[in-house]
Amino acid sequence: MRHLVPAALIAFTALPAAAFDRMSRSDCQDGVQRVFDLVSYQSETKNAAIQDAIRTIRTTPQGWCEFTVTNATDHLNFSSIEWRLDESIRWTNGGIPPLGVEVRVFDVRPDEMQGGGETTRPPVDIEATLRQIPEAGMIVVERAVMENGAGDSLAVSGVFERVFLSSSSMMQVSMGSAAFKAGLMTLTLDGTHENPFGFGVSVEMRGDPQAQFDAAFDTLSSLPDGVVDDASRAELTAFASDLPKPIGTLEVSVDSEAGLGLMQVVMSMATMATDIMDESGSATQNPMEILFHGLTVSANWSPDAQNAD
């Protein structure tokens, strides 16, 4: 399989890795308390439940914060969560985001999160590591992974630029200036479960395999010229032809020359909404062309050797 790592991510991997704090129980509880202080709850019952939950937070022998779900909090749809921070004092003392966050969530139940009926989807574990580089104005998703015991996994990494989190005022400015620069997604599917991760949206593939392939091909065909080269288009088409239960690994990288910002996304959505509301289709530009302007997408599909043609 080719490795399609964007240049922005390659540049980040050359930076020295910073160490995470060994969290104390007070660090953990104070940090969570500060999060809930940002939210105003009118219900005294809910506030009391939150305080009870915060008091149950412990630390592991390795220095992670740990919260384990009890009968009173079983509605959270996971068994436990662990986290640690880099320079946690920035958050607990000053309300400024730490330099790094690492989170692990265990036994997440996709069906319960999606609110639908029970399926055979197995529980999912989630791990994520995020860092900020203040001097460069960058947020980096080093690694975010969902995986289950059936052999399915979804891993993403990415770089966001023009993000400055040194103060409340700079954070507000960053909401308008932040832009996606590059990302990489690796999806490995065992083929046992259709839509193995679920999560909040109904994305079950429906219809016969040919109909699913046609729908995927139509989506690929609607992408503006220059976004996907012929080789990557062929890889994505090959992946689509293996629906609904492909077996193998799909790798997709996205690069944005100028950075995909909020304004570009909003303009694309506004154009799409105008086109939908006006039956004459009066939009002067394809919303896909606005959204994907300056983006390049590369893809590689590696089917399982036993299932490849």
Q: List the pLDDT tens digit at each of the 309 positions of the chain.
A: 556 777 777 666 656 666 899 999 999 999 999 998 887 777 788 888 889 999 999 999 999 999 999 876 777 889 999 999 999 999 999 889 999 999 999 999 877 766 656 677 889 999 999 999 999 999 999 999 999 999 999 999 999 999 999 888 888 888 889 999 999 999 999 988 877 887 544 444 445 667 766 777 777 887 888 899 999 999 999 998 888 889 999 999 999 988 888 777 777 777 766 765 565 555 556 777 878 888 999 999 999 876 655
* CA separation for the pair 161, 6 (Å, rounded): 14
Q: What is the pLDDT of residues 99-154, one digit of tens each?
A: 999 999 999 987 776 665 667 788 999 999 999 999 999 999 999 999 999 999 99
Q: Are 191 and 247 in contact (CB under 8 A)?
A: yes
Helix/strand/coil (H/E/C) assignment for every residue in 223-289 = CCCCCECHHHHHHHHHHHHCCCCCCEEEEEEEEEEEEEEHHHHHHHHHHHHHHHHCCCCCCCCCHHH
Mapping DSSP to helix (H, G, I), strand (E, B) and coil, where does residue 204 land? coil
| Half-sphere exposure of residue 229: CA atoms within 13 angstroms, side-chain side | 8
* CA separation for the pair 12, 159 (Å, rounded): 9
* CA separation for the pair 146, 133 (Å, rounded): 25
* CA separation for the pair 42, 53 (Å, rounded): 18
Q: Which H or E element spans position 29?
A: helix 25-37
- Residue 86 CB coordination number (10 Å): 19
Per-domain residue ranges of the chain: 7-17+118-303, 19-98
Tokens of 69: 């779900």
Q: What is the pLDDT of residues 248-277, one digit of tens each?
A: 999 999 999 888 887 777 777 777 667 655
* CA separation for the pair 156, 145 (Å, rounded): 7
Q: Are 65 and 59 in contact (CB under 8 A)?
A: yes
- Residue 129 CB coordination number (10 Å): 20
* CA separation for the pair 254, 306 (Å, rounded): 29
